[in-house]
């Protein structure tokens, strides 16, 4: 009876672990991103992807964004400077491919859907230029 119960618990634990993605467990579904505007400081920036929108009130600055397959769009503004836009692509993390082997198709699917399979650059440079007088 004790052996059957232990086997049942082990099977249930294995089944539950197959439903979570490896990248979700290791690095989560969000990440910090820092925005630098070159020699210009004090610009306000918004960052946006399909998972949400975030703000940096003054550059250089850091914000935690949700990971996503889609590009991260960054808009920076400061009085006296041209508004600057930059789009940054996400990259698929190597562990997402390993997840197919170790976590199975379900685990890999979870990581793709929740964004954990992707990464944005940690530091993003959005150089700004003086506006026309």
- Domain range for 20: 2-125
Q: Rounded to two decimals, what is the model's pTM?
A: 0.68
Assigned domain for 131 exists: no
In this structure, is residue 12 part of a structural domain? yes
Which residue from 40, 58, 53 is spatially nearest to 126, judged by alpha carbons? 40
In a domain, 133, yes or no: no
What is the pLDDT averaged over residues 53-61?
A: 98
Q: Is residue 34 part of a domain?
A: yes
Number of domains in the chain: 1
Tokens of 114: 């929740």
Does residue 130 belong to any structural domain of this protein? no
pLDDT per residue over 62-115, tens digit each?
A: 999 998 989 999 999 999 999 999 999 998 755 544 444 455 444 444 444 444
Distance in Å from the first CA to the final CA of the chain: 84
Q: Can you tell me which residue has the tokens 């618990």? A: 9
Cβ(111)–Cβ(21) below 8 Å? yes
């Amino acid at each position: 009876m004790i052996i059957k119960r232990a086997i049942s618990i082990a099977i249930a634990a294995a089944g539950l672990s197959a439903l979570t993605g490896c990248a979700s467990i290791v690095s989560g579904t969000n990440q910090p991103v820092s925005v630098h505007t070159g020699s210009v400081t004090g610009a306000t920036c918004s960052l946006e992807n399909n998972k949400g929108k975030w703000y940096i009130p003054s550059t250089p600055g850091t914000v935690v964004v949700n990971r996503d397959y889609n590009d991260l769009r960054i808009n920076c503004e400061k009085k006296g400077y041209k508004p600057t836009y930059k789009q940054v692509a996400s990259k698929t993390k190597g562990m997402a491919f390993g997840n197919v082997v170790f976590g199975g198709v379900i685990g890999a699917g979870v990581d793709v859907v929740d964004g954990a399979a992707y990464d944005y650059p940690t530091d993003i440079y959005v150089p700004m230029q003086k506006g026309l007088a």
